[in-house]
Each structure stands twice: as structure tokens, then as C-alpha cells.
Amino acid sequence: MIQAGIAVGFDDALGAGLSYEEAYKMGCNAITLKSIPEELTPVFKKRLVKGKQLG
């Protein structure tokens, strides 16, 4: 249920040309609209690789 909610919002945002981080936020908005508790929201993690930030 959570995965389906975030996946739809995430995929739609990527298809619209948004960044991974923006797509994550859109996916979180999608699951918020479904009244899923905040503690079940997936976490977006970033890391630096050779001086570049990866999302």
C-alpha cells in the first residue's frame, strides 16, 4: 500500500522531468493524501561520490 502510493507519485514526477529528490517529495505527498502515518514514510538518502552529490 505504501509502496504503491509513493511509486505512483515518484514515477509520475520522474516522467515529468523532476529530479529524484523532487520525485521523492511528490511520492511522499501521494502517500500523505492516502492518510498513511508519517512514521511509515520511506526515507530519501543522498551521498557524495567523488565530489558529486547523488540523489
pLDDT of residue 32: 82
Q: pLDDT at residue 44 above 90?
A: no
Alpha-carbon span 46 to 49, nearest angstrom:
10
Q: Which pLDDT tens digit goes with each residue over 5-41?
A: 677 788 889 999 999 999 999 888 888 888 777 777 7
Q: pLDDT at residue 51 above 80?
A: no
pLDDT of residue 16: 94
> Which cell numbers in the block locate residue 55?
540523489
For the segment 39-53, the average pLDDT, to the nearest whole number, is 78
> Which cell numbers in the block locate residue 41?
514514510
